[in-house]
Amino acid sequence: MPRVFRWSVLLLFLAITLIPFLWLINASFKSSAELFANPFGLTSSFSLENYFSSFAVHPLHIYFRNSVIVAVLSTLLALTASVLAAYALLHRFRLSRPAFVFLIFGLFLPVNAFIVPIFFIIHSIGLYNTWWGLILVYAGISLPLSFLIIKTYMDTIPRELLEAAHMDGASYHRTFFSVILPMTMPGIVTGAIFLMITAWNELLFASLLTQDETARTVQVGIRFFLTTYSANYPQAFAATVMTIVPTILMYVFLSNRVIAGMTAGALK
């Protein structure tokens, strides 16, 4: 491939990826009038007015709180279940192969086909419009992938360690807590990054299972900036920028780990 062609492809994709985001950030500082008069010019002032006023229109800070709680706790729950199960499968037993298949078969199912039963499960145990409803659902639907990530990592731990721990008389639990768990930590961090980002970004179940500020997450919240009567676009942009800042920060500081985390399930 000639050089010119290669570089035009790279620069084209660079432009397509970045220009919309730069436009969004620039527009989030404008006033509504300025936006319509001059949608592409550099903003005349970098005032944070829209950022502050967007909190007054919709309770964004509450949506943020809900999103953080749901993302953190669902990640913890999914990881705990995955690590425990992966440790159990580190030992051989008669049904270990079927057990493995049982835990990952959900990978191949499009979960959006399950919205009716999942809605009724959550509703019938009284968790509709609560944090715990979303936490359970996120932990449940992301379990196959998080289990696969952890299991793949745990399988790289040398088996001799398990034997050695056993020789030294460590019990089943002791081996888990003192040997396997510490050694799986890098895998757990990878899984945690992946789970947090997916939970933070989820929309379908968040809009299905929440009703008001009690549990509504930011992804559902920013939609209201557009759908309400007399929408103020720059304000909506400011709100959108704020909702993507947490994942952007994570990416800026940990880009290699994030890339590894998001593709970990696919690469094994």
Binders of other proteins among 197-256, rule CB under 8 A?
A: 197, 200-201, 203-204, 208, 219, 222-223, 226, 233, 236, 240, 243-244, 247-248, 250-251, 255
Cβ nearer to other proteins, comparing 73 with 143: 143
Q: Which of 112, 178, 211, 228 binds other proteins (CB under 8 A)?
A: 112
Handedness of CA 29, 35, 37, 39 (dihedral sign): positive
Residue 205 C-alpha from the chain's centroid:
13
Neighbours of 40 (CB within 10 A): 8
Q: Does 189 bind other proteins (CB under 8 A)?
A: no
CB 129 within 8 A of CB 214: yes
Cβ nearer to other proteins, comparing 57 with 162: 162
Q: Measured from the CB of residue 104, what is the shortest distance to other proteins in angstroms? A: 9
Q: Does 177 bind other proteins (CB under 8 A)?
A: no
Q: 158 is written with which tokens? A: 């040398």
Q: Which of 46, 52, 105, 177 binds other proteins (CB under 8 A)?
A: 105
Q: Which of 162, 181, 183, 189 binds other proteins (CB under 8 A)?
A: 162
Rg of the chain, C-alpha, whole Å: 23
Q: Measured from the CB of residue 61, what is the shortest distance to other proteins in angstroms? A: 18
Query: CB under 8 A: which stretch of 4-12, 43-51, 56-64, 126-134 binds other proteins?
Result: 4-12
Q: What's the per-residue H, E or C state across 110-143?
A: CHHHHHHHHHHHHHHCCCCCCHHHHHHHHHHHHH
Q: Does 178 bind other proteins (CB under 8 A)?
A: no
Binders of other proteins among 30-49, rule CB under 8 A?
A: 35-36, 39-40
Among residues 196, 195, 217, 183, the alpha carbon closest in space to that of 61 is found at 217
> Torsion-angle region of residue 71: left (phi > 0), alpha (psi -120 to 50) or beta?
alpha
Tell me how far apart the alpha carbons of residues 126 and 118 are, in angstroms, rounded to a whole number: 13
Q: Does 258 bind other proteins (CB under 8 A)?
A: yes
Tell me how far apart the alpha carbons of residues 267 and 263 are, in angstroms, rounded to a whole number: 6
Q: Which of 70, 71, 134, 143 binds other proteins (CB under 8 A)?
A: 143
Q: Measured from the CB of residue 9, what is the shortest distance to other proteins in angstroms? A: 6
> Torsion-angle region of residue 129: left (phi > 0), alpha (psi -120 to 50) or beta?
left
Q: Does 126 bind other proteins (CB under 8 A)?
A: no
Q: Does 152 bind other proteins (CB under 8 A)?
A: no
Q: Does 71 bind other proteins (CB under 8 A)?
A: no
Q: Does 262 bind other proteins (CB under 8 A)?
A: yes
Q: Which of 46, 52, 102, 177 binds other proteins (CB under 8 A)?
A: 102
Q: Which of 144, 154, 190, 216 binds other proteins (CB under 8 A)?
A: 144
Who contacts 60 (Cβ-Cβ below 8 Å, separation ≥6)? 54, 218, 221, 239, 242
